Amino acid sequence: MEKVTLRVFRGDKTGGEMVTYEVPKVPGMVVLDAIHQIQKEQDTTLACRWNCKAAKCGSCSAEIDGKPRLMCKTSVDEFNGQPITVGPMRAFPLLRDLVTDVSWNFKMAAKIPPLQVLPEMEGKPFVLQQVDVDRVQEYRKCIECFLCQDVCHVIREHNRKDAFFGPRQMVRIAGLEMHPADRINRREQLKAEAGVGMCNITKCCTEVCPEHIRITDNAIIPLKERVADDYYDPVAGLLRSIGVLPREKKAPFNSVPNEQTKIAAQGTGKKGG
Partner 1 sequence: MATQQAPPRGTVRIEAPDNDRKDSYWVAPTAILATFAVFVIYSTIRAFMGKYYSTYYDGHSFAWMAANLRGASAIRPHYWSPFYSPYIPGYFPFLKALKIGSWPLSAALYVMVFPLAFRASCYFCRKTYYRAVFRDPEACAVKEKFARLNYTGETKLPARAVNLHRYTFYIAVILVIFHWYHLYNAFFYSQYGQTHFGVGLGTIIFLVDTVALTAYTFSCHSWRHLVGGVINRYSRAKSRFKVWSGVSKLNEYHGQFFWISLVTVLIADLYVFLVSSGRITDIRFF
Single out the residue of 36, 153, 193, 253 in contact with partner 1 (rule: CB under 8 A): 153
Count of residues in the chain: 273
Give whichever of 72 and 89 is closer to partner 1, judged by the CB atom.
89
In the bound state with partner 1, the residue whose beta carbon lies nearer, of 14 and 28, is: 14
Could you give the CA distance from residue 273 to residue 269 in angstroms, rounded to a whole number? Answer: 8
CB neighbours of residue 54 within 10 Å: 9
Q: Is 119 exposed, middle or buried (0-12, 13-18, 19+ CB in 10 A)?
A: exposed
Pairing relationship of beta strands 94-96 and 99-100 according to DSSP bridges? antiparallel
Taking CB under 8 A as the rule, does residue 63 contact partner 1?
yes
Q: Which residues contact 262 (CB under 8 A, 6 or more apart)?
A: none
Q: Which is nearer to partner 1, 72 or 178 (CB)?
A: 178
If residue 8 lies in a helix (H) or strand (E), which one and from where to where? strand 3-12
| 114 touches partner 1 by CB under 8 A | no
Residues whose CB is less than 8 angstroms from the CB of residue 49 and which lie 6 or more positions away in sequence, other chains included: 59, 60, 98, 99, 271
Whichever of 114 and 272 has its CB closer to partner 1, that residue is 272
Q: Which is nearer to partner 1, 187 or 256 (CB)?
A: 187
Query: How many Cβ atoms sit within 10 Å of the Cβ of residue 174?
Result: 26
According to the binding rule CB under 8 A, does residue 41 interact with partner 1?
A: no
Which of 139, 224, 256, 271 is the binder for partner 1 (CB under 8 A)?
Answer: 224
Interface with partner 1, residue 65, by CB under 8 A:
yes
146 binds partner 1 (CB under 8 A): no
Residue list 159-218, contact with partner 1 (CB under 8 A):
159-162, 164, 178-180, 182, 195, 197-204, 207-208, 216-217
Under rule CB under 8 A, residue 109 binds partner 1: no
Nearer to partner 1, 31 or 52 (CB): 31
Binding residue for partner 1, selected from 4, 9, 30, 145, defined by CB under 8 A:
9
73: Cα separation from own chain's centroid: 17
